[in-house]
Amino acid sequence: MGYPNLQLGAWILQAALNARRVQFAVDDFGTGHSSRINLKQLPV
């Protein structure tokens, strides 16, 4: 929301790593910012 360029860069990096079959685990619990909408935006 506040950092669109940072978010775009992170998305591009994650997509590039996914293309190399790097897998991610997402743990958003306990941060106070958990949102299913945000998790759905991840390219996984």
Q: What is the pLDDT of residue 22?
A: 92
43 or 21, greater pLDDT? 21
Q: How is residue 44 annotated by DSSP?
A: -
Question: What is the structure's pLDDT at 34?
Answer: 60
In angstroms, the CA 34 to CA 40 distance is 12
pTM of the model: 0.49
> Bigger pLDDT: 37 or 14?
14
Give the number of other Cβ atoms within 10 Å of residue 30's Cβ. 7
Whether residue 26 is predicted with pLDDT greater than 80 in this model: the reply is: no
- Give the pLDDT mean for 1-22: 83
Residues in contact with 37: Cβ distance below 8 Å, sequence separation at least 6, in sequence order: none
